Structure 1
Amino acid sequence: MHLLNIGVIFAIFTKCSCEVDFSDRPRNFSIELIHFTQLETDGHIVISPFGIWTLMIGVALGATGESYKQLSRAFILPRNENELIEGYKKLTETVLNPKTKGVTLTSKNYVFLDDDFVIYPQFKQMVQEEFDATVKVFDFDNPNAAAKKANSYIKKTGGGRMTNVLTSEDFAESRMLITNVISFKGLWNSPFNKSETTVQPFYNEDMEKIGEVNMMYQVAPLPFSNVRDLKAFVLELPYGDDDKYSMLFILPHRNVKLADVYQNFAKISLKDVQQKLEDDIKRMDLEDIQIEIPRFKISTNVALNKPLNNMGVFDIFYPELASFEKVTSEDIFVSAVIHKADIDVTESGTVASALTTVHLADRISTPKFTANRPFLYFVIEKTTTTVIFGGIYSKPTIY
């Protein structure tokens, strides 16, 4: 299973004349962010809540007044700057430390400045030392050259395999760009056998056939629960050789809409879902599950301005309201937060992928998880329940 790259871009323009553990923070807004983002698309999406959260930490480090307060409420950030920085460092160190065999995960932060845009030395030092960002200066008056140089630098410094993270349009009117690029690749702990993949129908929420998919298949003892508070079935597919990273598939019960599942997340968290899976394992041990999941690839390129508006972040986008007094003496505001992401889900696990054939005799008697209608998915770091990638699969294609 491969999760490719995501780029998040924050563009700054010149104006024209709760008491929770820090590791809870990325998780708490992840589902809300996915929900509001899918409203701006066709509902078939992938985003990186952790990548977006990382970027917005960089934005918050320069924000003041109401601009910071709104970011603080939306992303559940502490008021104290030192607490923000220390909590950010602690969480990223945990999430981005994949000792798991079969998992690679990198996250890079970049700040690109126009050559005539002056930022305070204190802010530059802070984003370099505390936000671990690379700061580069380019001539934004030549946006094509600036984009080419920036993309070359991102590729050279290991910022993932995504090409053309930045475009000339990103530089054309901007003064500063803050970019996060995150890349994840994971091999299933229990891989699928390609010979078991077959073309099968895929349905909408009303169980009307809307297309076909390459449906991967296996029978294996994997974490599975019927989470009644969500009105959904939950399946966990671990990565690699330990219990640090996994992918959760959330399949609504028949005749239950994805929108209803989202509403149910108001009373049950992903941490609760994770605990339910663990409790069921302790109570009944792992049992063989008959699993059918589409092989799929999704790409998303979306402006997050409106989703962030829906989460209560307004002022940073308006010239007359934005406050970034820690960044520069100039009056600046955010023109756009652009998010680009890809996800690629395949049978890949190891070179030898014949593990499932041992269990074929149990097909009739085993519980079944068949993702042949719209479902949610989350790639998480389990010790903090941090959502690294998440989205919705709802538009079937043969992949």
Structure 2
Amino acid sequence: MKIILILFGLFSTGYCKVEFSDRARNFSIELLYYTAEETNWHTVISPFGVWSLLTAVTLGATGSSRDQLVRTLILPKKKENIINGYQSLTSAVLKSEAGAVELKNRNYLFGDSDFLIKSDFIKDIRNKFKAILTKLNFKPKETAAKLANEVIKKKGVAVSNVLQPDDFENSRMILTNVITFKGFWQSPFNASLTNVAPFYDENNNQIGEVNMMNQEGSFSYSSFENIEGSVLELPYGVDEINKYSFLAILPYKGVKVSSVYKKLSKVNLKDVMLKLQTDNDLYGTTEVVVNLPRFKISTNVILNRPLNKMGLVDIFDPSSANFNAITNSEIFVSSIVHKADIEVTETGTIASASTSSQFSDRMMPVNFNANRPFIYLILEKSTNTVIFSGIYSKPSKF
């Protein structure tokens, strides 16, 4: 018998031990790399959503299945440490500012009506991971999908059609994570300045056109030679709080995104953020002319192969999977389906006038022109947790 893990992420524009947040962040960087290989380097995923769901699954795994989950997710070995660390991290990440950023993360468990799940696992996933548990008759599958989607929409996150009828085919249990993020720029783009502009590939050949957003302002910016790219931080939310940020990493001309990403996997993201902060402390924010495509990306990808490459193998194998902490039945994970959407537009809150003019006389503005493939990360900054991440490489007029 199989179980399916479904993850859905949607983006439209506290205290936590650093040691535990490092675990989620390192997993995020590696997952995006292998997912990008599957999607030809044009993608969006929610590493935090994937990590959240698989961390919950770890509580139900035993033997080599649990060992591989612990190694792949970079989790502590003790169950209580996993739970405490997860709760601290999610509390810090999800504590958003009212009116500026809306961030919701929900776990759901759907069990077939005659499928027996052990009470200890039910207690853990309900009480520790705040999952919403629902028993359904998985047949007919069309009815099951409709009822499950109604539960998701009514109890937590207003997202439609997360589950499809085929997800219930021969399944006994479905674990679902839904994460949504809506952020408003601290310094919005003026829509009247958006214009059609060429977009180039990594060999400087024009491959299409985009609606290019434009603005000039003071931002955290740094040229990072260790990764051969420039880094720009565009904050969300209320001025000076700056809890969530959109980080754009633009490779130097002639440098491939894959090359930058390989270096990013070795250079700690914390070091990138530290350099941005250090440059700010020493020189102040930088006057930057920002050219960023207005874009929308939808991804629907099976994560089995990326996770295989990261060392997670046994849970997908009917003969090796071990979930004795969930049920006495022999079950395995047939697929981990990840569905994510992102929209990046001009919309934002009104920017503070002092921010854009504070250092206008320090130097000529830097030009951050994202007219070629680039990497983007949406971060919760107190923990440097990657909520959403992706790569933009295939232009379209959105």
Tell me the equivalent position of 1:207.
204
Call closer, same or farther: CA 1:372–1:90 in 2, change over 3 Å. Answer: same
Tell me the equivalent position of 1:121.
119
Q: CA deviation at 1:58?
A: 1.4
Tell me the amino acid that sits aligned with residue 294 of structure 1: P
Tell me the amino acid that sits aligned with residue 246 of structure 1: S
1:19-61 deviations in Å (ceiling 9; x for gaps): 9811111100111101111111132100000000001011111
Q: Superposition RMSD on alpha carbons, in Å?
A: 2.1
Tell me the amino acid that sits aligned with residue 309 of structure 1: N
Q: CA deviation at 1:350?
A: 3.0
1:178-236 deviations in Å (ceiling 9; x for gaps): 00000000000000001111100000000100000000000000000001101000000
**Kept in 2: contact 1:48–1:341 (CA 8 A):** yes
Tell me the equivalent position of 2:248.
249
What secondary structure sits across from 2:171 in the alignment? coil
Q: CA deviation at 1:287?
A: 2.4
Call closer, same or farther: CA 1:20–1:97 in 2, change over 3 Å. Answer: closer
Q: Distance in 1 between matches of 2:349 and 2:253?
A: 34
Aligned length: 382
Q: CA deviation at 1:126?
A: 1.0
Tell me the amino acid that sits aligned with residue 311 of structure 2: G
Q: CA deviation at 1:158?
A: 2.6
- The equivalences for 1:340-379 within 5 A come to 340-350=339-349, 365-379=364-378
Q: CA deviation at 1:303?
A: 0.3
Percent of pairs identical after alignment? 50
- The equivalences for 1:292-371 within 5 A come to 292-350=291-349, 365-371=364-370
1:318-366 deviations in Å (ceiling 9; x for gaps): 011001010001011000000000000000013789999989x98x931
Call closer, same or farther: CA 1:160–1:261 in 2, change over 3 Å. Answer: farther
Q: Distance in 2 between matches of 1:263 and 1:54?
A: 24
1:144-197 deviations in Å (ceiling 9; x for gaps): 001000101111113243x21000000111100000000000000000001111
Tell me the equivalent position of 2:103.
105
Q: Given the alignment, which residue of 25, 44, 53 partners 2:23?
A: 25
Tell me the equivalent position of 1:393.
392
Call closer, same or farther: CA 1:22–1:33 in 2, change over 3 Å. Answer: same
Q: Distance in 1 between matches of 2:166 and 2:122?
A: 24
**Kept in 2: contact 1:300–1:339 (CA 8 A):** yes
Tell me the equivalent position of 1:171.
168
**Kept in 1: contact 2:187–2:350 (CA 8 A):** no
Q: Distance in 1 between matches of 2:222 and 2:356?
A: 23
Tell me the amino acid that sits aligned with residue 220 of structure 1: G
Tell me the equivalent position of 2:38.
40
Q: TM-score when scaled to structure 2?
A: 0.92
Call closer, same or farther: CA 1:341–1:266 in 2, change over 3 Å. Answer: closer
Call closer, same or farther: CA 1:384–1:351 in 2, change over 3 Å. Answer: closer
- The equivalences for 1:6-17 within 5 A come to 8-9=6-7
Call closer, same or farther: CA 1:356–1:197 in 2, change over 3 Å. Answer: farther
**Kept in 1: contact 2:212–2:292 (CA 8 A):** yes
Call closer, same or farther: CA 1:367–1:351 in 2, change over 3 Å. Answer: closer
Q: Distance in 2 between matches of 1:309 and 1:207?
A: 34
Call closer, same or farther: CA 1:263–1:355 in 2, change over 3 Å. Answer: same
Q: Distance in 1 between matches of 2:96 and 2:6?
A: 22
Q: Distance in 1 between matches of 2:353 and 2:213?
A: 13
Call closer, same or farther: CA 1:31–1:257 in 2, change over 3 Å. Answer: same
1:349-397 deviations in Å (ceiling 9; x for gaps): 13789999989x98x9311100000000000000100000000000000
**Kept in 2: contact 1:106–1:160 (CA 8 A):** no
Q: TM-score when scaled to structure 1?
A: 0.92
**Kept in 2: contact 1:191–1:353 (CA 8 A):** no
Q: Distance in 1 between matches of 2:353 and 2:158?
A: 31
Shifted more, 36-45 versus 179-188: the winner is: 36-45
1:58-112 deviations in Å (ceiling 9; x for gaps): 1111001110111111110111000000100000000011025410100111000
Tell me the equivalent position of 1:14.
none
1:290-333 deviations in Å (ceiling 9; x for gaps): 10000000000000000000000000000110010100010110
**Kept in 2: contact 1:381–1:387 (CA 8 A):** yes
- The equivalences for 1:185-204 within 5 A come to 185-204=182-201
Tell me the equivalent position of 1:153.
151
**Kept in 2: contact 1:119–1:327 (CA 8 A):** yes
**Kept in 1: contact 2:316–2:332 (CA 8 A):** yes
1:381 aligns with 2:383: no
Tell me the amino acid that sits aligned with residue 235 of structure 2: P
Q: Given the alignment, which residue of 82, 85, 94 partners 1:84?
A: 82
Structure 2, unmatched stretches of 5+, are 9-16
Q: Distance in 1 between matches of 2:366 and 2:343?
A: 26
**Kept in 2: contact 1:9–1:177 (CA 8 A):** no
What secondary structure sits across from 1:21 in the alignment? helix
Q: Distance in 2 between matches of 1:355 and 1:392?
A: 32
Please list every run of at least 4 consecutive aligned residues from structure 1 whose deviation after the TM superposition is greater than 6 angstroms.
Answer: 351-359
Q: Distance in 2 between matches of 1:349 and 1:192?
A: 7
Tell me the equivalent position of 2:223.
226
**Kept in 2: contact 1:378–1:387 (CA 8 A):** yes
